[in-house]
Amino acid sequence: MTNNPVVSRIATGTAPMQTLAILALEQHRVIPADRRAFLHLAQRPEATPEAAAFFEFLAEGEAMAGERLIAFAEACGVTETRLTSYEPLPGCQSYPAYVAWLALNANPTDVVFALTSNFAEWGGYCATIAAALREHYTFTAEACGFFDFFAEPSPELDEKGATAVRVGQVNDELVRRYSRLLNHYEATFWNTLGAAS
């Protein structure tokens, strides 16, 4: 069982639908923001071809995830009106804000390393949520597709990330800092979501 309290409640079916709806609404803003940040990183002059390929692959994935997010939001009862009028929570948006900061300020190869350190945890959360949505909330496969997408291992992404780190120059001290802050903002996302619902 995960030590993330929100994911734990979803896993047991005790999280209210409001929690899932807010999760959908917040991700509706996280996904396009991260996609733009990844595209910017791919186009940075400092990016090696290998790092650029990694970020382009990530950006394509975010676009596909965004398409799958629509069915999840609809299953949570999120209407178009609520989607357009929703005011995002600062704590939930601190993660994409920091990814945008990295896209502007950090060496792209360092960002590759820092991001990949967080993927396993996020993927684990998504696998747990996808299973719970089916078991406890009777969501369809289409409605679970957003989480299925991130829960599925991606050997191609792993290879692109490993290649980018191998051929680029990595600042270990900065990577540790970036990874620590990304993990913190990830936790802030879930803590904020839990407090709001």
Q: Could you please report the per-residue DSSP string of 39-70?
A: HHHHH-TT--HHHHHHHHHHHHHHHHHHHHHH
Section 171-192 average pLDDT: 96
What ranges do the domains of the chain cover?
5-196
CB of 171 closer than 8 Å to CB of 109:
no
Indicate whether 115 pLDDT > 60: yes
Average pLDDT over residues 135-158: 96
Q: Given pLDDT bands bounded at 50, 70 and 90, which one contains residue 2?
A: low
The average pLDDT across 123-142 equals 97
* Residue 120 pLDDT class (50, 70, 90 cuts): confident
> Looking at residues 81-110, what average pLDDT do you find?
97
Residue 138 phi/psi, 5° resolution? 50, 40
3.40.50.2000, 1.20.910.10, 3.40.50.10490, 3.40.1440.10: which CATH number matches 5-196?
1.20.910.10
Q: Return the pLDDT at 5.
A: 93
37 compared with 121, residue with greater pLDDT: 37
CA angle at residue 131 from 130 to 137, to 5 degrees?
85
Question: What does the block give as tokens for 99?
Answer: 């990814």
Q: Under a CB-based contact definition with an 8 Å cutoff, are residues 78 and 25 in contact? A: yes
C-alpha 42/C-alpha 52 separation (Å) is 4
What average pLDDT does the structure give for the chain?
96
pLDDT over 80 at 110, yes or no: yes
